[in-house]
Amino acid sequence: MAKTNIHLLNGPNLNLLGSREPKIYGTTSLEEIENSCQQWAARNGVALTFRQTNSEGTLIEHIHMADAQANALIINPAAYSHSSVALFDALSAVSLPKIELHLSNPHTREAFRHRSYASPAVNGIICGFGPDGYILALTAALGLTGA
């Protein structure tokens, strides 16, 4: 049986984690989050592709690639959640299980963050658990694959 492959995509400004607005996003860097995710993947026999981009077009291309290469997709679309119809279209076009992920809880923040274009196109949403949300999302994604 082929190894389960999960693609975990991160949107704009997440490369600044650890120093960007630590009261909201914490002090854990994206590199530290990736390391813990890769450790989880190794323990669970999962191949993990972990990417970050500040470019909307590149993020959409990564979604398209995931459809061809992965068994599940996790996306932290960051600010594109609230602004990108193209993101919704890309997520809607792919057939694999998808999870939307946010470090903070957008529903407790500014009103413009309460709506996510990504949400109607995914199987589930994990938000408000900080870096631990990444492991929750990986566990949920693995469950959605049936592995």
pLDDT at 114: 67
Which helix (H) or strand (E) covers residue 116, if one does?
none
pLDDT at 1: 41
Q: How confident is the model at residue 93 (pLDDT cuts 50, 70, 90)?
A: very high
Query: Is residue 57 packed enough to be buried (19+ CB in 10 Å), middle (13-18) or exposed (0-12)?
Result: exposed
The ranges assigned to domains in the chain are: 4-145
pLDDT at 147: 73
- pLDDT surpasses 70 at 113: no
Task: Kindly list the distances between the CA atom of residue 26 and the CA atoms of 68, 73, 91, 111, in Å, as whole numbers in the listed order.
Answer: 34, 24, 28, 21
Report the candidate in 113, 112, 122 with the shortest Cα–Cα distance to residue 87.
122
Q: What is the pLDDT of residues 64-82, one digit of tens each?
A: 999 999 999 999 998 888 8
Identify which has the larger pLDDT, 63 or 106: 63
Report the candidate in 23, 6, 19 with the shortest Cα–Cα distance to residue 101.
6
Crossing angle of helices 30-43 and 132-145, in 10° steps, is 40
Q: What is the pLDDT of residues 117-129, one digit of tens each?
A: 888 999 999 999 9
Counting residues of the chain whose pLDDT is more than 90, the rounded percentage is: 71
**Domain at 4-145: CATH architecture:** 3-Layer(aba) Sandwich (3.40)
- pLDDT surpasses 70 at 108: no
- pLDDT surpasses 50 at 46: yes
Bridge partners of 124, per DSSP, are 99
The alpha helices in the chain, defined as continuous H runs, are 22-25, 30-43, 56-69, 85-93, 132-145
Q: What is the pLDDT of residues 7-28, one digit of tens each?
A: 999 999 899 888 787 787 778 8
Tell me if residue 97 falls in helix, strand or coil: coil
pLDDT at 74: 98
**pLDDT, average across residues 96-105:** 93
Catalytic machinery residues: 25, 102
**pLDDT, average across residues 28-54:** 97
